[in-house]
Amino acid sequence: MSDRTRRRRSSSRRETSRDAPSSSLLDRQRPYSVIRNKFPPLDPMSEEQLEKIHHMSMRILEEQGLKVLSADARKRLAAAGADVDDGEQMVKMDRALVMDLVSKSPAKFTLTPRNPNHALELGGNTLNFGMVSGPPNVHDMVRGRRQGNFSDYCELVKLAQCFNIITFYGNQTIAPVDLPVNTRHLDTYLACIKYNDKVFSSMSIGSGRVRDAAQMLAIARGVSMEELAASPSAITNISVNSPRLLDEEMSDAATTLAELGQAVIVTPFTLMGAMTPVTVPAALAQQNAEALLTIALIQSANPGAPVVYGSFTSNVDMRSGAPAFGTPENTWANLAGGQLARRYNLPHRTSACNASNIVDAQATYETQMALWSACLCHGNLIYHAAGWMEGGLVASYEKFIVDVEMLQMMAKFFEPVSFSDDEFALEAIDEVGPGGHFFGCDHTMQRYRTAFHEPLLSDWQNHENWQLAGSKTATERATELWQQALKEYEQPPLSEDRMEELEAYIARRKEEIGDGEP
């Protein structure tokens, strides 16, 4: 627990009266905790269907293969025993070899950021909710829709630090286009380390950028690169350029990070109708083939390196080709992704996205569809769970707040319920009697402050009071909340020594890189 979280907790709502709630927004949130889905996963496929996906994906790898652009990756795979055609850049693998390599992956591992109390457990039934990552644009209701810049980037990192329910960051909260492309990663890594103390993902473009992330995380934690290899901090998400194409910058990032003992998520970019056939089983077989070959490559680089099975199968609108999210097909595929990850004993990354243009009912029901399946399938890393809009083209401040509320509700739903005798309150039921009410009885008075989830955003006032308060929608109220959160934000402490060392590292690397590539 950080100092600040500890301080917050001691003055938290749990010790204050509900009739006079804390004026601090952040004090009223849920405390930081590991969230587990203790229900069995919801498996959409029969054992036979699951094995058919496996079989068909193995046929894709055996009969068709993937195009692997990196000569280094092809060399590694050839050495491991794959059937490699360097002229065509094609790699085929038989199922025994694929499964042998994949089986070297750990079923669970821990990622430790600079604040070890915010370490993530990946694998099993943990649920971790991540910040939106990747959009080129940003939107809030005060400043409107605009191209993202570094100032927005830092603000979004701070916002996510404010809320305990967000436990990791994807590759980049937004793309800060005002920074030079070749050194942008250094500035954004520093911002992530300075303004937050949770796990963040590094940029998966080539080996230089991921190596910088590992080096900077080692400095931030005050550990050597050997110690970092034994206790990983860095993670990146690489996409397969579906169908069946593995880009050089992706595979280089993956094998470099694996060699450093850090974690890699492999996520085929499989939008049904565009990058895969329109049928769900085909999309899943293709996703599976692409993910497993890439995981096999990573294990050939460093057997036992931590990896995560990623699934991002949704569909496009067949009229326009536009991506759609939170659709019934996306919901089903999320569940199937979890079932596949368990089939191979791997941690699972999934997501909770939507394709709406505004923070409205559509944005919400699409997100909820994807979020429920992401949780029900035991998604260990649920990407884009806060702030994602427009199919990934926009990071939205108001949507971030709506999502924080939804995620807090989900966390409360998954909390175990006590069934001790006292919870049954038979004396209270007797005491209140037929037709009475429980507002004032002892059993209620002892528990009412913490009995129920207390919303940050939801408004349960009656219609008259809601009108008196300005007839605001949840989206309008969200504007006030992100503004308040930014006001209350406190930078998590980091020693001056380490900060100086980080700044020196960046200065040196910028010098080295110059106008070239990192």
Report 381-400 residues binding a copy of itself (CB under 8 A): 390-391, 393-394
Report 281-340 residues binding a copy of itself (CB under 8 A): 281-282, 285-286, 315, 317-324, 327-329, 331-332
**Interaction between residue 356 and a copy of itself (CB under 8 A):** yes
The nearest distance, CB 489 to a copy of itself, in angstroms, is 23
**Interaction between residue 274 and a copy of itself (CB under 8 A):** yes
**What is the size of the binding site for a copy of itself (CB under 8 A)?**
117
Closer to a copy of itself by Cβ: residue 222 or 455: 455
Report 101-140 residues binding a copy of itself (CB under 8 A): none
The answer to whether residues 384 and 267 touch, using CB atoms and an 8 Å cutoff, is no
The nearest distance, CB 457 to a copy of itself, in angstroms, is 7
**Interaction between residue 451 and a copy of itself (CB under 8 A):** yes
**Interaction between residue 22 and a copy of itself (CB under 8 A):** no
Site track 232-271 with a copy of itself (rule: CB under 8 A), x = hit: ---------x-xxx--------------------------
Return d(Cα 281, Cα 447) in angstroms, integer: 49
Q: DSSP characters for 171-225?
A: S-SS--TTS-TTTHHHHHHHHHHHH--SEEEEP-SHHHHHHHHHHHHHHHHT--H
Return d(Cα 474, Cα 402) in angstroms, integer: 8
**Interaction between residue 14 and a copy of itself (CB under 8 A):** no
Return d(Cα 105, Cα 202) in angstroms, integer: 21
Return d(Cα 225, Cα 220) in angstroms, integer: 12
Task: Enumerate the β-bridge partners of residue 110.
Answer: 121
Closer to a copy of itself by Cβ: residue 65 or 113: 65
- Name the CA dihedral angle for 33, 35, 38, 40, rounded to a multiple of 10 degrees: -170
**Interaction between residue 475 and a copy of itself (CB under 8 A):** yes
Candidate segments 64-72, 253-261, 297-305, 497-505, binder of a copy of itself by CB under 8 A: 64-72
Closer to a copy of itself by Cβ: residue 208 or 387: 387
The answer to whether residues 352 and 17 touch, using CB atoms and an 8 Å cutoff, is no
The nearest distance, CB 183 to a copy of itself, in angstroms, is 29
**Interaction between residue 413 and a copy of itself (CB under 8 A):** yes
**Interaction between residue 71 and a copy of itself (CB under 8 A):** no
CB contact set of 75 (below 8 Å; sequence gap of 6+): none
Contact pick of 190, 223, 425, 499 for a copy of itself (by CB under 8 A): 425
Candidate segments 93-101, 158-166, 460-468, 491-499, binder of a copy of itself by CB under 8 A: 460-468
**Interaction between residue 449 and a copy of itself (CB under 8 A):** yes
The nearest distance, CB 414 to a copy of itself, in angstroms, is 8
Contact pick of 152, 155, 212, 405 for a copy of itself (by CB under 8 A): 405
Residue 497 CB-half CA count within 13 A: 3
Residue where the block lists tokens 């001691």: 10
The answer to whether residues 268 and 242 touch, using CB atoms and an 8 Å cutoff, is yes
The nearest distance, CB 187 to a copy of itself, in angstroms, is 28
The nearest distance, CB 211 to a copy of itself, in angstroms, is 27
Q: DSSP characters for 140-160?
A: ETTTEEEE--HHHHHHHHHHH
Q: Which H or E run contains 340?
A: helix 328-343
Residue 207: alpha-carbon gap to chain centroid: 22
The nearest distance, CB 395 to a copy of itself, in angstroms, is 14
Nearest to 456 by CA among 420, 409, 393, 503: 409
**Interaction between residue 16 and a copy of itself (CB under 8 A):** no
The answer to whether residues 164 and 31 touch, using CB atoms and an 8 Å cutoff, is yes
The nearest distance, CB 313 to a copy of itself, in angstroms, is 12
